[in-house]
Chains A and B, each alone.
Chain A
């Protein structure tokens, strides 16, 4: 039962273009979503988050869009840079309810390659 899915294992884009990473979820109780960037054998680095009361959040080159009716979120990186090459994970949490505290559900990750 995979509640958070990243259906594209990999994505390759040219430097300067837009990178769009997608994530779908099934649990309607999720109310907080995050994107992390990860290099091998390192911990995930937080990029950007969005609450379910919003449909867009922007931070510099990174924008996250949330479509609650479709249970879909996406991360846009504009412009893409070679240093953005990494594995990107989306994660979700249901902040209400004692059984959900401190628990993030992660997708399987998408490997982004930005070519110079």
Chain B
């Protein structure tokens, strides 16, 4: 099976802009979770989607949102970008509640 794919791999934006990141899970996986990795905070959970419904959300401001489509592909959106949003954004897919498999990530740089 193909692994988790994320696009784009790299992105440069300026403060105030918005950005949309995409994630395609492993075929058959219906759960998609998103994480943010920064040097200071480590890997932090953003939210999780299952069957097009957000089931869980981490402690991030409302500027961070997401959605999931009927084919389990997921997108996350960050509006009104801030310098502190510069990070590696990772998505992971899983079958039910078992092991999460991660994609390569999207490196976002906010200038």
Contacts and interface: CB of A to CB of B under 8 A. Distances in A.
Interface of A: 32, 34, 36, 41-46, 49, 89, 91, 93, 95, 98-109
For chain B, give the interface size range: 20 to 34
Interface of B: 4, 6, 31-33, 35, 42-45, 48-50, 55-56, 58, 88, 90, 92, 94, 97-105, 107
Given A102-B33, A102-B56, A36 B42 contact: no
Contacts of B31: 101-102
Contacts of A101: 31, 48, 50, 55-56, 97
A46 B99 contact: yes
B94 A102 contact: yes
Contact of A36 (B102, B103, B104, B107): B102
